[in-house]
A and B are shown apart, each in its own frame.
Chain A
């Protein structure tokens, strides 16, 4: 009776011999597992990329306050809108009820490069307040963000991306130098390192484009408001009513249209509870003042909850749909493999009978056939890897290129591919193995006669 490592080697060699004996059936099983697993892995890679946590070390501490200023008749299915009016946004910023807070809205700026013969550039940026960079752990290559007093003084300062720094200054340290934005001069306080959270959650409600259109510059919120810089992205006045009078910048600022996001950093549960209360009280105060004629309706989602709100869902429907289809495909392959394994094992009923008669226990039969299944599953996994690699090269044709670009074949995906292949083949082999172990030794010997 073989034991220890010998058992494995013995069963391995038995498996190998049986693979040789029924080449066609084995090849079919390997092919099915390979295709099923590869389809799942390719769609999973895309799904994983699109649904990733953009700031995993901090996403539970960053919250986006919501305040319903539309009222129950005009809001979004009874929920507060995802953006804030200027009135509420500024009130939140000045209340300073969180450890850090910032406002965000997307805007587009014209950058005049030095040298008359060079073409001006149109650059997308966000108007933010000074806490922004510390809140989102934005890394700086040179310099840093601006100060609280720059916000208060509505200073003409700017933080630029490394890409824009490369375009304008050839990548040199440009801190303290000036650039011209929309015909006004701004002093550079910092140059960011390569930083582009995917999805870019902090302005997704304002400008959408969670995987593209990286921000090239950040300007103080107060300064952008002074410059009457309109939002380049969404601007909602209600879910269904015609927009109110927007015939001047003052009307835009003080009307009930929503176009600004607020983010607050709340490190502890107590901070969150406190902030929730404060938000509720703020809305109640607005009701008392007669601005809202409805009871407080507020929200305080964290980053991952934020990405599930209507309008903020960054996982493309095509990606979720293809996940469902490919999992169904793997399931059907699995059913198929159960049938083929059954055929493969039962074809060897005489051999099992002989082994049982010679003293092999049921457990030994289980061991032999499960190891055989694992070997076949491993082969399916290897084929699956090859097919996954082929599939990853072609996903740009199926999904939006900016999302397809994010899906990568890394070590975790490689091991997952093999793991899924082996595990599903083993599951598929359970019933056929059980049937094989039921083969009676006596009957087979008799019929062999």
Chain B
């Protein structure tokens, strides 16, 4: 340790003779740290984001997009939906099924509801996303009730295209319950208003269920979901059948389920291209941007670190070449190979250290500007710490080769010129 400390004086003296080259490495380290730490942080947030659970049994769920044709009237649609759901539930391999207007991970679809505590409430209503549901919805999603009860078959109403949903009973997610009742009161049995005329009673709370918009873009209400007991009957809007299958039955049912619906009634349209979607496919599509950004950032990080390592090797080699004579003199005056090795390693650690200090400042500045522009959260300091450690280790590794070559310079070099 002491031998290392003694070297610091001469190192500074030597660096003063190579101001520009030193500055370049410092700058390089600082910029690399700033970019790598921010990029790594983006990778981390994206990976955390794209692993958000939808709260459903995704591996065994698929959705069928159904569009009515020939403008059937509403009672016909209602009867057809009942018949369709019964058909789907009877198919071998189907665990459960129900009808809705959207499905999780769809990146669109669902309806927005505004929830008030009182009709005359003047503060902003709580926003939430809705799924139309029936008594089979919970077992189809595979989500669990944490309080209260499921819908009963007699609570499921029929809802036309101009009707405003205001059912007597609703089920909400725990996330939404915490927002509506932050004081921790019992949620089940509470009344809320989805429109100004009718109160809805919260009959149940489910653990977790994402709304249909969740995907790469984040909304603060992604986990605030309301289940409305209704069959949605609209002649010109498409609707969705959600089907949960037994393990191993997915492939067969992706073909047989739409075929069974067509056999039931041909006056419908199930697009051959994107009419049937598994939730696994929906997740891949919905989070494609997140995955892309993470891959891109990770690739740039690797390239950057390689580039910086290359730069350090190049410049250190040059320095070693330039100082062969002085190294020879030091060796001739009694310095060991280890001394020379340590000299270059200490020099590198010092330069990287200065770069890291500058880089931390640049990294924080970069994060702040990304925060305002790209809705990125604040970067915790440990990310910069990891980046600094990474760069420091990289610097030591990169300088090892040139430093060993320097240590190999024989003392006789002192007698040669240039």
Contacts and interface: CB of A to CB of B under 8 A. Distances in A.
B124 interface: yes
A339 interface: yes
A329 B292 contact: no
A400 interface: yes
B315 A339 contact: yes
Q: Indicate the member of B31, B114, B116 with the most A CB atoms within 10 Å.
A: B31
A316 B236 contact: no
B162 A325 contact: no
Given A32-B310, A347-B318, A342 B24 contact: yes
Interface in B278-306: 288-289, 292-293, 295-297, 300, 303-304
B64 to A, nearest CB: 14
Contact-size category for B: 35 or more
Contacts of A449: 417
B31 A335 contact: yes
Interface stretch (B65-73, B139-147, B247-255): B65-73
Interface residues of A, number: 62
B209 interface: no
A346 B39 CA distance: 35
B236 A108 contact: yes
A316 B31 contact: no
B266 to A, nearest CB: 9
A398 B292 contact: yes
Contact of B114 (A242, A246, A326, A399): A242
Interface stretch (A118-126, A130-138, A192-200): A118-126
B418 A447 contact: yes
Interface in A221-272: 229-230, 240-243, 245-249, 251
B289 A342 contact: no
A168 to B, nearest CB: 15
B237 interface: yes
B20 interface: yes
A21 to B, nearest CB: 13
A110 B311 contact: no
A112 B68 CA distance: 12
B307 A182 contact: no
19 contacts: A25-B314, A28-B311, A110-B269, A120-B69, A121-B269, A245-B164, A246-B162, A247-B162, A247-B163, A248-B162, A316-B289, A329-B300, A332-B28, A333-B307, A335-B31, A336-B314, A338-B24, A339-B315, A344-B318
4 interchain residue pairs of minimum CB distance: A343-B318, A242-B114, A336-B311, A398-B292
Given A25-B314, A247-B163, A329-B303, 13 more contacts: A24-B314, A36-B307, A122-B271, A251-B162, A325-B35, A332-B308, A335-B28, A339-B28, A342-B20, A343-B21, A350-B418, A431-B20, A435-B20
